[in-house]
Amino acid sequence: MVEIGEGAFSGCENLSSIIVDKGNPRYDSRNNSNCIIETRTNTLVQGCKESLIPTSVKVIGPLAFEYLYELKCIEIPGSVTEIGNGAFSWCENLEHITIPNSVNTLHRGAFEYCGKLTEFTIPASVKTISPDIFDNCSHITDVYVLGYKMPEVETYRNSFPDWVQEATLQVPASLVDYYRSTKPWNKFGRIEALHEEATSVGQGQVGTSDDSVVNAYGIDGTVISDAKKGINVIQHQNGKVRKIIK
């Protein structure tokens, strides 16, 4: 096997194991990941419901997890910089996804038809998104943008889906007016400053009322490992985003 096309296993919703022969010259399934990975580019080209994405993966390819109806949650490692077209489309039971602060591009329809998502966080690292990344995700009530530079929206379509008119977009306070006056972001029904919640934190680690912290950012949008004096932005495993004050 020397070539696997996009979506080659699309619709194999019960597929739970993927093993690539160690002698394959192009692909591997390193670290018992249950994934097919293009070795040279570190691109994950196919996953399954039991996949564990290795920390060496750089790109999640187009349609890699499409139609995996049983997928409820998956961890995307901080090595990933790009999520391809339709990568998680039609994962109808996906309840939570955390985009690490390494991803700079979210391509077309990356999360379309993920109908059980209720929140979506765009980390500070994201520079470009597509307006249809969450088409038909009408249960999303809150979208969080953590960066202090507005992500560029690809222009092949001039608007986000209609459901955003019922949703809240939360952005850094200094950018609220900018988002309210800029298309297509101003289609959101409400655009507010990221909600602030004062929390006491100790030295050496970010402290919150929820231990499942997956990302922490300084007020400038950069990733931090320890809480700094002033305001810090915390992203939790459950998708919640909070500000804490040290």
Element (H, E) at 180: helix 176-180
* Contact call for residues 114 and 135 (beta carbons, < 8 A): no
Q: How far apart are CA 37 and CA 40, in angstroms?
A: 9
Q: What pLDDT is recorded for position 202?
A: 33
Specify the residue for token string 């809480």.
227
pLDDT tens digits along 24-80:
999 999 999 999 999 999 999 999 999 999 999 999 999 999 999 999 999 999 999
Query: What is the helix (H) or strand (E) element at residue 178, kind and residue range?
Result: helix 176-180
Which stretches of 80-128 are DSSP H helices? none
Q: State residue 225 phi and psi, 5-degree precision.
A: -100, -25
Cα radius of gyration (the chain): 18
- 3-class SS of residue 102: coil
Q: Which two tokens stand for residue 62?
A: 């187009």
Instruction: Give the Cβ contact number of residue 42 at 10 Å.
Output: 17
Residues in the chain: 246
Model pTM above 0.85: no
Handedness of CA 177, 193, 112, 36 (dihedral sign): positive
Rounded to whole angstroms, the Cα distance separating 208 from 180 reads 30
Query: Mind listing the pLDDT tens digit for each residue in 16-35?
Result: 999 999 999 999 999 999 99
Report the range of poorest mean pLDDT among 17-21, 85-89, 233-237: 233-237
